[in-house]
With several copies, the nearest count.
Chain A
Amino acid sequence: MHNERIIIAGFGGQGILTMGQLLAQAALDEGRQVTWLPSYGPAMRGGTANCNVIVDDAPIASPVVHGDATSVLIMNVPSMKFVADLVPGGFALINTSMVNTRVERTDVRAFYVPATELAVAAGDLKTTNLVMLGAFTEMTHCVGSASVLHALEAKLGGAKAHLMDANRRAFALGAEAIAAQEGAAHRPTEPSVPR
């Protein structure tokens, strides 16, 4: 079981906040402690968005992830700044469809997934965030895949149930993309940061 301190970041409209909520819901369903803290701003489109998710076994004190992230999920170029927040040994997951630079730090582990392209392959550009979630889950085993998909199903509800298939495919494609890479899910259970 992993205790994770996660930053998810990208453009507004990419489903950044939803990703965090799905993760949080999945963790809650698994009986973990969890906090989800969004960035927020005026309603205007086009800004950046990010959220902090903490999954833990003990009650969570500070809900802020800053300088002590165990994972960062990055969906656009400006968000590469969050790599600096990783603890040594932390994981960076980069959507290479949107980001063409590489992680420079050598004390963290970077994973590169062409999430947008995989989403198109899954049948819907809008499932990019599910690709990322699939990859993240495979990468960290922070929560179970089933829990994430269950959370998504609950969220979509009846009216949007037809979208479930593409999302499921996207999630799987993300997971596969990581499984194919080495080093995932091998992080020590307890991250090396105070909580």
Chain B
Amino acid sequence: MAVVFQRTAGLTDAETHYCPGCTHGIVHRLVGEVLVELGVLDRAIAVIPVGCATLAYDYFNCDVQQAAHGRAPAVATGIRRVLPDRVVFAYQGDGDLASIGTAEIVHAAHRSENITVIFINNAIYGMTGGQMAPTTLVGQKTTTSPLGRDPRLAGEPIRIAEMLAQIPGASFVERVACDSPPHVKAAKRVIRRAFETQLAGEGFALVEVLSTCPTNWGLEPVDALAWVRDHMIPYYPLGNLRDPKKDAAARGGVRPEE
């Protein structure tokens, strides 16, 4: 008999304030598990955003800095440049990262800051009550797109992973989802890979996680998972866009660690 699943030490015992079924909780757990499994929890520093995860300083069981809205990559840069041997990651929502924080994430990638970014794309502004995000799907109703997102007024949703993957410094970029157990398990492997990129000193790594916001989507949690599968994944294809492993292979294996 063996315990095959239990609470991770990567998170504190605090109960989260997240709504029932919100996948922020799942991603928190995956990050916590990965930190523990990589043995780096004790030297990890989290940078948390403004958004529903803004209270995550109570959850991640490591040092935490709460950053201004959108500025987590800049804050993480500050930490990284002071403490080159720690594990630094930023956790950001899509309003935070893809809207107000666009410059900061682009330039963290551009500099290839040796940090890991977990990017929660739930196609909406959760904390402030369901306004449109740059990632909101066409036709999706939000409190600021009451008739559904109109691409003629607001443009078509932005694919952050694809955009960042164009930046030379973006060493690792992959999109995952939280809508089903296999996808969650895959997400964990990818998050691990993103931290390994940092540990190998290979530079900027970002994992975009397609997530739910049952509350502001106005869906039951289970239906929200289905919405990710049926609507988000088709527009935001899962998969790896940049990986030092692949890149090294493409270049003939010059990267030292492979």
> Which A residues fall within an 8 A CB radius of B?
42-47
Contact = CB atoms under 8 A, between A and B. Distances in A.
Nearest to B216: A43
B19 interface: yes
B64 interface: no
A44 B128 contact: no
A43 B216 CA distance: 8
Interface string B10-34: 0000000111101000000000000
A45 B218 CA distance: 12
- Between A42, A43, A46, A47, the greatest number of chain B beta carbons within 10 A of the residue's beta carbon is seen for A43
Contacts, number: 27
Given A42-B127, A43-B215, A43-B216, 13 more contacts: A42-B17, A42-B52, A42-B128, A43-B126, A43-B129, A43-B130, A44-B17, A44-B18, A44-B22, A44-B52, A44-B215, A45-B19, A45-B20
A46 B127 contact: no
Chief secondary structure at chain A's binding surface: loop
Interface in B124-183: 126-130
Contacts of B22: 44
> DSSP majority for the B interface?
loop
A43 B20 contact: no
A45 B127 contact: no
Interface of B: 17-20, 22, 52, 126-130, 215-216
Contacts of B52: 42-44
A46 B130 CA distance: 16
Contacts of A45: 19-20, 215
Nearest to A43: B129
Nearest to A42: B127
What 7 pairs across the A-B complex have the smallest Cβ distances?
A45-B19, A43-B129, A42-B127, A44-B19, A45-B215, A44-B17, A43-B127
A46 B15 CA distance: 12
A44 B16 CA distance: 11
A48 B215 CA distance: 16
Contacts of B128: 42-43
Contacts of B19: 44-46
Contacts of A46: 17, 19-20
B110 to A, nearest CB: 24
B16 to A, nearest CB: 9
Contacts of A42: 17, 52, 127-128
A46 B52 CA distance: 14
Contacts of B127: 42-44
A147 to B, nearest CB: 29
A43 B129 CA distance: 5
Contacts of A47: 17
